[in-house]
Amino acid sequence: MLNIELIQSDTENVLNAIRRRGEEPPINKLVSLDNKRKSIQQELDNLRSERKKSSHQIGLEKNPSKTLISQMKALGQKVKQLEAEYKTTQQDIRTIILTLPNIPRNNVPDGTDESSNQIVRTLKSSIESIKNPASYWEISNKLGLIDLSASAKISGSRFYVLNNKLAKLQRSLISWMLDTHTEKHGYKELYLPYLVNTDTVTGSGHLPKFSETMYHDQEDDLWLIPTAEVPITSMFRDEILNPDQIPSQFVAHTPCFRREKAAAGSQTRGIKRVHQFDKVEMYKFVRPLDSDQELFKLVDDAATIIRELELTYRLVELCAGDLGFSAVKTYDLEVWAPGSQEWLEVSSCSNCDDFQSRRANIRYRPELGAKPIYPHTLNGSGLAIPRILIAIIENYQQDDGSVIIPEVLRKYTGFDKID
């Protein structure tokens, strides 16, 4: 959530910054409402002071006049009326401010969509793919690894069933990624609820904007999480943390549920863009001065996973118009799939500044006795599983139709080949 004081003091720059995203925010309406709120507050303060004086005067008189008592009642009614108006105005302000996205960093590239994203660097793997590599879908069909007929029968379109060794490979990837992030990168592992309340989804920035792309149980008012970022953000909601709790960094594996709406085609075939998938997520609460540097560390933690799998990848900086709602700066990591002949996003690493901590009302004391401030939050995939599976299948396929298991995973899978 943006700071209303910043919006008031630097209205034009805030407006222009959000316009870089390709949006036209109702900033002027918000400023007008906040001015109204301040005016009501001032009037309330004056009336309460006047009422206090009148009450004191009545207390001093043995037989207060009917006029004085009548004035007291009128003041009370006026205060009650203004309190209701103040509450409504506050709610109107909150309704608008919750729809405003975060402000991109000044050094984020301009642009309105992914065509303006900038490739920072490309790192080629030493693994050489075979000549004329097949797509993961062709390989999976021949080896019986993915069953879309069964998943369609169970749930409908854009779900999938993994069979035999591919199911074991997914489980192995998850275990290895969690071990790497906890043992080598210093993250604390979490097991999280997959159903969360509305305050939780609002705190992370997914509500109200993404309500139509999420699964919601209306009876219990619970939402299936689209990413572990959502519940991790709210672990400290409405809390003031101690100095030794910042920085903190967490990692969790969860399924992710998304009601993404896309026309049928190559992007929705198989396991590339689905309603349910697994992901390992990294999340940091850090000091404001450290968040830019922590973003680079986060990116490297995700890239380490790709490098150890010996996959070709590239680092992409997102333009202003392609940033996520809560992010001020984002880097994507994409792996090369030689059979599909495309780059697949497997991680998106973002710095959200104090946007989420304000929404979730998370503060910390920089030192004992200090005034509480908002920490910065960062999140990144470490990694998303389906597209890494695709990359492994296509990059490690052999001429005989089998798929070699990356060496780093073999102690987890217990086998070195899928055939």
For the chain, the C-alpha Rg in angstroms (whole number) is: 27
Is a pLDDT exceeding 60 seen at residue 238?
yes
β-strand partners of 241 = 364
Q: Quick check: bond before 148 cis, omega within 30?
A: no
N-term to C-term CA, the chain: 51
In single-letter form, the type of residue at position 51 comes to R
pLDDT in tens, 355-400: 999 999 999 999 999 999 999 999 999 999 999 999 999 999 999 9
Measured CA to CA, the distance from residue 262 to residue 301 in angstroms comes to: 31
Is a pLDDT exceeding 90 seen at residue 264?
no
Measured CA to CA, the distance from residue 400 to residue 419 in angstroms comes to: 9
Mean pLDDT of 71-83: 89
Distances (CA, A) of 186 to 59, 99, 326: 65, 34, 25
Residue 263's pLDDT is 55
pLDDT in tens, 149-173: 999 999 999 999 999 999 999 999 9
Is a pLDDT exceeding 70 seen at residue 254?
yes
Is a pLDDT exceeding 90 seen at residue 269?
no
Measured CA to CA, the distance from residue 107 to residue 351 in angstroms comes to: 13
Nearest 10 degrees: Cα torsion 22, 110, 314, 210: -20
Kindly state which CATH superfamily the domain 2-97 is placed in.
Serine-tRNA synthetase, tRNA binding domain (1.10.287.40)
Measured CA to CA, the distance from residue 82 to residue 51 in angstroms comes to: 14
What confidence category does residue 49 fall into, taking pLDDT thresholds of 50, 70 and 90?
A: confident
Q: Which has more pLDDT, 274 or 48? A: 274
Residue 157's pLDDT is 95
Residue 75's pLDDT is 87
β-strand partners of 208 = none
Q: Which residue has the tokens 């090369």?
A: 336
Tokens, residue 178: 């969690």
Tokens, residue 339: 């059979």
Residue 268's pLDDT is 61
β-strand partners of 93 = none
Nearest to 251 by CA among 286, 226, 282, 297: 282
Residue ranges per domain, the chain? 2-97, 112-416
Residue 55's pLDDT is 75
Residue 392's pLDDT is 98
Helix (H) or strand (E) holding 344: strand 342-351
Q: Quick check: bond before 100 cis, omega within 30?
A: no
Mean pLDDT of the chain: 95
Q: Kindly report each contact of residues 72-77 with a partner whose C-beta sits within 8 Å and lies 24 or more positions away, as own/partner.
A: 75/47, 75/50, 75/51, 76/51
Q: Hey, is 363 helix, strand or coil? A: strand
Is a pLDDT exceeding 60 seen at residue 265?
no
C-beta separation of 409 from 389 below 8 A = no
DSSP code string of 183-213: HTS-PEEE---SEEEHHHHHHHT-TTTTGGG
What confidence category does residue 316 fall into, taking pLDDT thresholds of 50, 70 and 90?
A: very high
Is a pLDDT exceeding 80 seen at residue 266?
no
Q: Hey, is 129 helix, strand or coil? A: coil
Q: Model-level pTM?
A: 0.93
Tokens, residue 300: 């490297």
C-beta separation of 207 from 341 below 8 A = no
Mean pLDDT of 20-36: 97
Mean pLDDT of 260-282: 82
The topology under which CATH files domain 112-416 is BirA Bifunctional Protein; domain 2 (3.30.930)
Nearest 10 degrees: Cα torsion 42, 43, 48, 49: 70
Measured CA to CA, the distance from residue 300 to residue 303 in angstroms comes to: 5
Is a pLDDT exceeding 70 seen at residue 310?
yes
Q: Hey, is 126 helix, strand or coil? A: coil
pLDDT in tens, 192-222: 999 999 999 999 999 999 999 999 999 999 9
Residue 405's pLDDT is 98
What confidence category does residue 261 fall into, taking pLDDT thresholds of 50, 70 and 90?
A: confident
Is a pLDDT exceeding 60 seen at residue 418?
yes
C-beta separation of 234 from 250 below 8 A = no
Mean pLDDT of 228-251: 98
In single-letter form, the type of residue at position 22 comes to G
Distances (CA, A) of 172 to 84, 95, 169, 409, 419: 57, 44, 5, 7, 17
pLDDT in tens, 114-130: 999 999 999 999 988 89
Mean pLDDT of 408-415: 98
In single-letter form, the type of residue at position 308 comes to E
Nearest to 276 by CA among 254, 263, 253, 258: 258
Residue 4's pLDDT is 96
Residue 74's pLDDT is 86
pLDDT in tens, 131-147: 999 999 999 999 999 99
Is a pLDDT exceeding 70 seen at residue 262?
no
Q: CA triplet 266, 269, 273: central angle to 5 degrees?
A: 95
